[in-house]
Structure formats: C-alpha cells, structure tokens
Structure 1
Amino acid sequence: MTLPVQHTAADDVSSEIAQTCLLTRTRQISRVLTAIYDEELRPFGIVSPQFTLLVLIIELGPISRSDLGRKNHHDRSTLTRNLQPLISQGWVSEGLPGEDGRSRPLSLTEQGKTLLRSAASAWSSAQTKARTLLGEVGANALMGIAGELPRRTS
C-alpha cells in the first residue's frame, strides 16, 4: 500500500527558498572558492581566511583588532580564531596598547612579510582557477558587488 504524499504550503515555501535563496547560493560559492584557495595555500601552512588577514594587516596596518574586524566584516570570535595561529607562528605581532589602553595594533613581522611574498604564487594560481570557474563576467560581478558592500560600523 502506497501512502499519498501530501504537499503542504510549507513545502512550497521551502522549495522556493531552496531554489532562490541568495544566502544559500553565496555560501555555496564561498565554500567552493575557499577550497580552491586553501588547496593552493596548504603547502605554506596557512588557510585562505588567514591569508586574507595577512594581506589586510600589511595594507592597513598597524591596525587594531576591532578596526580589522570591521574592515573585513568579521565577528570577534572568528577574527580571534583566525588571528591566533598567525600570532603563534610569529607572522603577526601585537604592539603595545594604544591611547585607549586596550587596543594593541597588529602588524606583520618580517616572517609574515616573507610568508606573504612566498605564498603570492599560490594565491595567483588560486585566483586563476577561481576566475576560470566564475568566468570573467561572474568574477567581475562578484568584485563589483563586494565593492558596494556597506561599511560595518560595529
């Protein structure tokens, strides 16, 4: 005996969400791109979120953790989890507390700068793979969207 499958309004909603959710799709894209970069960066003992932090710190630094988190849309715990190995490996240093007595500016050490230069070819390879996967139109659209994101203030 086969029972009839009941189709409910909830099924319609979940089906629509599954097929059209921008969050779901962008997270899928993010995971695929992250895997591409992680694979290329693995020989250097670093993962893509950490590599991104190295780049931001050298470009914006010295920079406080809170400013770095705002710039890259990181929450405090995610930022700390990704920064800690960089500090432990000696690639990032924290300076003396600033005027507020709390913030300690982050900067790249010479080892961190060397790592960044060494891993640049891996980044370039990952970048080529990612652009190929997305196509030029998709890659350019993604960069355009990223450039229009609102600044995080907290």
Structure 2
Amino acid sequence: MQHEPNGTVELDRLADQSLSSQIARNCLVTRARQISRVLTSVYDDALRPFGIVAPQFSLLVLIAEFGPISRSDLGRRNHHERSTLTRNLQPLIAQGWVAEGVPASDGRSRPLSLTHEGEVLLKSAASAWSAAQSHATQLLGENGAHELMNIARDLPLRMV
C-alpha cells in the first residue's frame, strides 16, 4: 500500500483490490482496537482474582496519582466518555475502593479519592499488574511497548 506524504492512503493505485480489503488491511482504528482487546484481556485475566478489571484498575491508579480529582478531569485525563467513566466508577464506589467527596464550591464536582480499602487493593494487585505488564511487553516486544508508551504520552488531553 502506498502512502502519501501527508499520511493518507492512495487508494487509486491498487484498483485491483476492493476498497474494503484495502481498509481492512490498513485501518489504524481496527488495529488499535485489536491491540486494545488483546492487552485488556491480559490485564483482566491477571486482575480477576482481585475482583477488578483492567479499566477499573486504570481508574484506581489515576485516582491514586492525581486525586482528589473531579470526574470531568479524570475523564479528560483518560479519554473517557462520561457514560463509560460512570459505568467503570460505579463498582469502585460500590465496593468502597473510591469515595466521592463533598461538592466543591461550584456545587457540582465531587472530587474522587481512593479509600484505605482502595489503597490496599492497589498494593495487593500490584504483583498481578506487574505480571500482566511483563506478558503484554512480551506480546508487543520491547520496542513496540516503548513506542506505544511514547504515542500515549504525546496524546493531548481530551477536550470534552
């Protein structure tokens, strides 16, 4: 597949291939979602004994790192839609791992923070996370894992 300097695929050069075939082989979102599903499965399997899944664990880590943090700031930081963030936060709050603080001066935002139980869970699951991290790095290769981290680091914060 030929790529133009601006990064677009020149579809006309491969007229013998169907459009869907060209897209199926070269679609970045398809590949990124495949990688995401495989990596999520690796982390989910490792974290399952702790009663948590990878997206929830990621939220725990972000809340521990940046909390107290508002839902909107957490969503921007992790590129979550509001409904997805709420769906992943509900079990963390219900289990007592995350607490919502009293409303801020604006009366709307309720800062999220880890509870003592959430901190214990994070420490307890750290070795499972480490094993999953090693497995994921093996799957991607050292260079692939490093490049993935660099790409993620360079993404802008979500604006909405």
Please tell me the TM-score bracket, short chain as reference: over 0.9
Runs of 5+ in structure 2 lacking a partner? 1-14
Q: What pairs with 1:1-150 in structure 2 (closer than 5 Å)?
A: 12-150=18-156
Aligned structure 1 segments of 4 or more residues deviating by more than 6 angstroms: none
Count of residues in Structure 1 that have an aligned counterpart in Structure 2: 145
Report % sequence identity: 71
Name the TM-score, length of structure 2 as normaliser: 0.89
Which secondary structure state, in structure 2, belongs to the residue aligned with residue 100 of structure 1? Answer: coil
Distance in 2, matches of 1:100 and 1:144, equals: 36
Distance in 2, matches of 1:59 and 1:123, equals: 16
Deviation of 1:58 after TM superposition, in Å, equals: 0.6
Runs of 5+ in structure 1 lacking a partner? 1-8
Distance in 1, matches of 2:19 and 2:156, equals: 29
Distance in 1, matches of 2:156 and 2:77, equals: 10
Distance in 1, matches of 2:101 and 2:147, equals: 38
Name the TM-score, length of structure 1 as normaliser: 0.92
Which secondary structure state, in structure 1, belongs to the residue aligned with residue 113 of structure 2? Answer: strand
Deviation of 1:151 after TM superposition, in Å, equals: 1.6
